[in-house]
A and B are shown apart, each in its own frame.
Chain A
Amino acid sequence: MTVTELFPTLRKLPRADKLKVMQFLIAELAQEEEPSLQPGATYNISSPLNSHEAAHKLAQLLESERNQA
């Protein structure tokens, strides 16, 4: 169903129901806009944060390849 098809139906609604539709849409839009996290959900973080030793070793590998080039 398209928005254009919805309008005639909405127009027929009583005033109170029109207000309810407005509130519903406002809530829907707000939910889309607000940052939210799902309670109890697991969010994976792939970033190897603070892998300082790995970074140091890779820097050495990069440097040794540069010296050979």
Chain B
Amino acid sequence: MRRAARATVLGAVLIATGCDPVVSNEINALGGEAPGVRRGPLHRPGQPCLLCHDGALGDPPAFSVAGTVFNDPVDLGGADGVIVSLTDNNGIPYMATTNTAGNFYVTPDQWSPAFPLKVIIIGANTERIMQSEIGRDGACASCHVNPAGPSSPGVVCLTTVDGGTPP
């Protein structure tokens, strides 16, 4: 009887933590940590944070919105101290600030938004308004990847190389 209960619990845990092969492949494709950067707020700038920070059992803390702001799309230096102003579909705002890697993150405890979201990034001398809305994915890098192309506006950045406005 006890063995059956254990097996049931083990099975439930396995199911709960069971990997979605699509997600697993996407995570594997991200590769390992960068040398000298340990897991934490500064790691993996520019990667789709919510792939791992999704709240699944055994995973790192869940984020509702997270991403990276770069200075420009070529040198890919993280933009420190940028205010990321978010407003959800109910008009409820939240402001996050990027760290030295350019990363910012919001946990569901802090803000659990109703999508779609509107976003403005505010640097020392620059303000950029995101031209479209975020439909349902809180990870910036799910859409914002380099190079820019038909399915991506490029990474989130404060300035462009030619001085134009990023989309």
A and B pair up: no
Q: Using a CB–CB distance below 8 Å, which chain B residues touch chain A?
A: none
